[in-house]
Amino acid sequence: MKSVNKRGLSPVIATVLLVLIVIILGSIIFVAFRGLTKEAVQKFGQNIELTCGDVNFNAEMDGNTITISNQGNVAIYDFQIKIDTSTGYSLYKASEKIDNWDADQGLLKGRSISGEIRGYTIGEVTLTPILLGSADKGLRTFVCGSETSQVAS
């Protein structure tokens, strides 16, 4: 009878496989958590979230025509517009929905804009400012928090 010598993986191969598994799992975890960190956006040499506190604007509605005045010292790049209707609400940018919006400059300090919001019978409009700041990878937009929002109806 022929004896069969059964052997498992050699210790060297087992060690190499374990090291590869650890490297692959570490890479997966690194990539997953890298997407969770925010890139710091700056405006006027400070974090852009702090600049949101300096935003001051006024908005008024007359039918579907909205008038927005920038009364602060911060240029507002755009607005997130929440349009409430009888069937729910929709989110848009001012540059998409307001006639006459200057998409290159936004609403500079001390300026006003008046335009029609196209395509809706509007109940209430909530405006949240969007600022433009600089980051490591170029210019980035930042939507300020709800504390800077204003309702126009």
Gap between the Cα atoms of 2 and 141, Å rounded: 76
42-152: CATH, from 1.10.3430, 2.30.30, 1.10.10, 2.60.40:
2.60.40
Instruction: Check: CB of residue 43 under 8 Å from CB of residue 84.
Output: no
| Tens digits of residue pLDDT in 100-111 | 777 777 888 888
Distance between CA atoms of residues 32 and 101, nearest Å: 38
Token pair 């052997």 is at which residue?
Answer: 7
Q: What percent of the chain has pLDDT over 90?
A: 8
- Which tens digits make up the pLDDT trace of 15-68? 899 999 999 999 998 888 776 666 677 776 777 888 888 888 888 888 778 888
Comparing 1 with 129, which gets the higher pLDDT?
129
pLDDT in tens, 82-122: 887 777 788 888 888 777 777 777 888 888 888 887 666 66
Q: Determine the 3-state secondary structure of 12 from DSSP.
A: helix
The residue assigned the tokens 């506190």 is 53
Beta bridge partners of 145: none
Q: Where are the domains of the chain?
A: 9-38, 42-152
pLDDT at 146 over 80: no
